A = this chain, B = another copy of it.
Amino acid sequence: MKVSFSVSDLAAIVQPRETRGSTAAVIRRIASLETAESGDLSFLGNVKYRSEVAESDASVILLPLDYTGSPKPDQVFLLVENPSAALALVCARIEQTLWPKPQPGIHPTAYIAPGATVAATATVGPLCVVEQDAVIGEGTFLQAQVFVGRAARVGDSCWLMPGSIVAAECVVGNRVQIQPGAVIGSDGFGYEFVQGRHQKVPQVGQVAIHDDVEIGANTTIDRARFSQTVIGQGTKIDNLVQIAHNVVIGRHCMICSQVGISGSTTLEDYVVLGGQVGTVGHITIGKGVKAGGQTGINTDVPAGSFINGTPHMPYMLERRITVLTRRLPELFQKVEALEAQLKKSFA
């Protein structure tokens, strides 16, 4: 990131309650307290790092209001209510320079098929393809080498990153971000076994992605057999996730990296699945369920459960079973000792 803030620039962004010290440094980087050098901005986001503040070489440090120490020479402390939130304000400012709003228009190297509609305020970057009857909404940004298939509809203020793909007939809402290489609308994996061969079941449904969804890099979401595969409003999906055909995901779920959700499974709202979780198909995972990483979910899960293990069980049970499993050598020895003792007693 090409960053250049003076202390007064930063103060204008974070609006500190109190400023201690002074520095002539130009801030060019953000770093943790421990690794920061002169010219860096740092912050105390977690009390356990409090002792690192006095040692830090950062030129500017965001600190909570109750921090009592004094800065070194050529160092500034900015005291704010919430240093993490203050840092986020700075990052949001940097974000604007990192990804400046693109100019509307269609790059001359992009291919827009006849019959496609691109809103006047949308941006279609280099080497994108927009097929026949597709619709690209207001303020939406197809960055580069993006593919939008026939009759697909992408809403307003979306950002489709390089190499992302929205296949024919799929529907994307507003303010959706699709990271590079993600595939929306690949065929569902459906076959009938007929005379020793797998005969393809036509997959003629679509994927519907609701507003404010984010989809990770190289994630794949299959179109429904008929009807829709659905990703609910505000749900966030990480990289390399697989969502099979006819899956319905509720609102505001968090699906971590490398999760696989099998066909026709339903996630209600606010479900959180840790990395590498797998689920069988045709089950319902209730509202607010949380599953630890690598959990294997093989039946319906009641709302509010916290689960772990393969096959899944309640989190506290899984922790207990794990501890006992490691004591199996001891248990086998005890049982052998009991057997020996009994044998001797009744000999």
Instruction: Please report A residues at the B interface, Cβ cutoff 8 Å.
Output: 1-2, 29-32, 35, 87-88, 91-92, 94-95, 98-99, 107, 109, 111, 125-127, 129, 131, 144-145, 147, 149, 151, 161-163, 165, 167-169, 177, 179-181, 183, 186-187, 189, 191-192, 196-198, 200-202, 204-206, 212, 214, 216-218, 220, 222, 225-227, 234, 236, 238-240, 242, 244, 252, 254, 256-258, 260, 262, 275-276, 278, 280, 293-294, 296, 298, 310-311, 313, 317, 320-322, 324-329, 331-332, 334-335, 338-339, 341-342, 345-346
Contact = CB atoms under 8 A, between A and B. Distances in A.
Given A129-B126, A321-B325, A329-B320, A278 B293 contact: yes
A92 B204 CA distance: 8
13 contacts: A31-B227, A32-B227, A87-B226, A88-B202, A94-B226, A127-B145, A187-B214, A242-B258, A260-B276, A262-B275, A275-B278, A294-B296, A321-B325
A92 B198 contact: no
A238 B263 CA distance: 12
Contacts of A111: 107, 109, 126-127
A321 B244 CA distance: 30
A263 to B, nearest CB: 10
A98 B168 contact: yes
Contacts of A321: 325-326, 328-329
A236 B317 CA distance: 38
Contacts of A217: 183, 186, 220, 222
Contacts of A183: 163, 179-181, 217-218, 239
A122 to B, nearest CB: 18
Given A91-B225, A127-B145, A200-B214, 6 more contacts: A2-B169, A98-B168, A109-B109, A126-B129, A163-B183, A294-B296
Copies of this chain in the oligomer: 3
Nearest 8 pairs of A and B residues by beta carbon: A186-B217, A30-B226, A91-B202, A147-B162, A220-B239, A217-B220, A111-B126, A183-B217
Contacts of A313: 326
A226 B335 CA distance: 54
Contacts of A189: 216, 236, 238-239, 256-257
Contacts of A234: 197-198
A109 B275 CA distance: 40
Contacts of A218: 181, 183, 218, 220, 240
Contacts of A1: 169, 204-206, 226
A197 to B, nearest CB: 5
Contacts of A324: 328-329, 332
